[in-house]
Every structure is written in structure tokens, then in C-alpha cells.
Amino acid sequence: MAKQLALTLLAVAVVAAAATTSTTAAAATKLTLHNLCPYPVWPLVTPNTGFPSISDNTVRLDGGGRGLVSFTFPDSFWAGRVVARTGCAAAGGVARCETGNAPPATVVQLVVHSPEGGQDLAAYSVSLVDGFNVPAVVSPQAIVGGGQCPALGCAADLNAGCPRSQRVVGAGGAVVACRGTAGYFKARCPLTRTTGSDVEPVPQHCLAPGELKVVFCQPSMVAAGAGAAVPELIRTVVANI
């Protein structure tokens, strides 16, 4: 009888351990960066103060969809940002870039495993407060907890129509970044944040996504100009599971 009880308890322990392992695996969240631009980018993934690094920031993502990389977020609360640097060259072990190491630059802001309200909440946005250099769209994938999980960001090339006085011109003579104004950015990319108090005009409350995917120069990029805001809104997909 005692032997049978011991075997039963062992079986229960094994099942419980398997369930715990499965839950932990399901809770793991990754960051995926995919470069569809016709030029390479060097992503700079920077944690907010007090959070661990998840990338050594040495990765080059080739253009045309060939550049793809994933990083694993910590299992606990984490916050940070992603910038796509362009025109980089290594000098003394340090990447010197035409854009991305300093403003103006497109900034993807990310929060995962937030304990707000006792839930595994993810929050994300694309900020043009510091200007623009590369189109970027962030979208949750493999959403476990449901909620409202819209794709946010800017697929338009805002360098193309940047006011002359706001342009940053690279070594080859092309416009590589735009300082812009909040009005210029918001009119063309309404699903971005353009001031410190700005928010997107769509609800966001995304629970336990398995992946946050950032795409640079997604295929549905629209030309910057009048009416660009309309297709940008149409492309927004809200996962309300």
C-alpha cells in the first residue's frame, strides 16, 4: 500500500513538473527583427536603466528580407527600445553610423511582462519624437492571453517628403533622416507617437504575446504625401481574441 502511494505521488510530481515546464515555455517571449529595406541596418537594442541587455548590438541585418534575427526577453518585467542604424562602419570596434546612434531616428519602444493589474501585459509603440530615419512597424504574434493587440508604427518613407530645412543628408547625397515636425509626422503616420503626450488613436491592451515582431520597411510601405494616413489606418489589424 505504501509502495503504491509512493508511486502515485511520484506520478503526480512528474505531471506537475511537466505542466510547469510547459507553462514556462509558453510564457517565454522573443523579439524578432526583420529587415525588408533595400539596404542593411544595424539594430541597436537598448534596455531602459536597470534592465539587462538582450543583444550585443553587433548584428547586421542585410536588406531585401535576408536580415532576420530573434532575441529572447527575460522572463520578468523588461523595458527598452530598438533603433535601426544605417550607413554603419566599424572603427576601433565601435559602429560609426550615418543614422541611429543619435537623433533624428525612429524609436521602437517595448515593454514585456508588465505586472500591471496582475497581468502579463505587453506595451509597445513607435516614437517619432526624436525624428525619423527608417520605417518601422511593431506587431505582437502568438498572442496567448488575448486582448487588443494592434500593429503600430509607420510604413511610409518620411525621408522622401521631408521639408528641405529638416533633412539630414548622408555622405552619398541622399536624405537619410528627417527631423520633421510633430504635424508632418502625425499626418502621414497616425499610428506613431510624435510628442511626449501623444498616443495612437486605437486601443491597446495586449496580454502575453509570444513574440513582438519589428519589421523595417514592410512591403506595404506607402509614399509620404497627402492621403498617406488613410492606407496606414486601413493596414492596422487589431487582434481581439
Amino acid type, 40: P
pTM for the model: 0.81
pLDDT digits (tens, 9 = 90+) for 62-89: 999 999 999 999 999 999 999 999 999 9
Distance CA 73, CA 69 (A): 13
**Grid coordinates belonging to 226:** 497627402
Percent of the chain with pLDDT strictly greater than 90: 72
Q: Phi first, then psi: what are they for 213, rounded to 5°?
A: -110, 125
pLDDT digits (tens, 9 = 90+) for 225-234: 333 343 443 3
Q: How confident is the model at residue 119 (pLDDT cuts 50, 70, 90)?
A: confident
Q: What DSSP character marks residue 116?
A: G
**Grid coordinates belonging to 86:** 544605417
What are the CA-CA distances from residue 104 to residues 65, 84, 113, 231 (Å)? 24, 11, 29, 25
What are the CA-CA distances from residue 55 to residues 48, 69, 114, 143, 157 (Å)? 13, 10, 20, 23, 27
In CATH terms, the superfamily for domain 28-234 is Thaumatin (2.60.110.10)
Distance CA 10, CA 25 (A): 23
Distance CA 63, CA 141 (A): 22
